[in-house]
Amino acid sequence: MNPNTQNLIKENREYLVKQSEMLQAVVTRMASNSLAVKQLGFSIWTALVGFGFTNKTSSLFVLAIISLILLALLDIYYLFLERRFRTNFNCLTELLCGFDEQALENMKKLKGNFLKLERISAGQEFQMYMSTIKSWANLPYVVIIVITVVILLGK
């Protein structure tokens, strides 16, 4: 790392550390929101499936699937945002530790504000969103939807 870069980092170190703390808080909040959405989704699914068995109504099973899918999409969005902010946090950490010149370029793109997400093309965003959908964190949704479909087909 060149001396000018090191001086710039030393001059702004306190600011960058504060941004690091704020990014940690944002990532933690996204993870908490994701967990709350999962809990809500599974509670709603359980209630609707329970009423579906009690009332022998297949429309409640369909409603359970629809509500779970909608909440899964919200959860996937939180996971997507969490990953993007985590990427910014990793760049900031690399910059503070002096590991990567690319982090300095990211700092210039973001104008020194790592709390702001870097603009990316629609294709890149779609690709990141699809990789988020394929995440292991979404496996419970797939399992629950498959179970509900099996129950519906068995009726």
pLDDT digits (tens, 9 = 90+) for 27-44: 999 999 999 999 999 999
Q: Which single residue is written with the structure tokens 């001086």?
A: 7
What's the confidence (pLDDT) of residue 33?
92
* Predicted local distance difference test score (pLDDT) of residue 84: 86
At residue 65, the pLDDT reads 92
| pLDDT in the model for residue 94 | 80
Its domain, for residue 150, covers 3-154
Give dist(CA 71, CA 127) in Å, integer: 21
pLDDT value, residue 28: 93
- Spatial distance between the Cα atoms of 74 and 86, rounded to a whole number of angstroms: 18
CB-based contacts of 22: which residues, under 8 Å, 6+ apart? 115
* pTM: predicted TM-score of the whole model, two decimal places: 0.78
Note whether 72 and 41 are within 8 A (CB): yes
* pLDDT computed for residue 97 by the predictor: 79
**What pLDDT score does 36 carry?**
94
First to last CA, the chain: 66
How far lies 106's CA from each of 11, 75, 89, 110, 116, in Å? 18, 27, 11, 6, 11
- Provide the number of structural domains found in the chain: 1
Selection from 150, 48, 128 nearest residue 80 by Cα: 128
Residues of the chain with pLDDT under 50: none
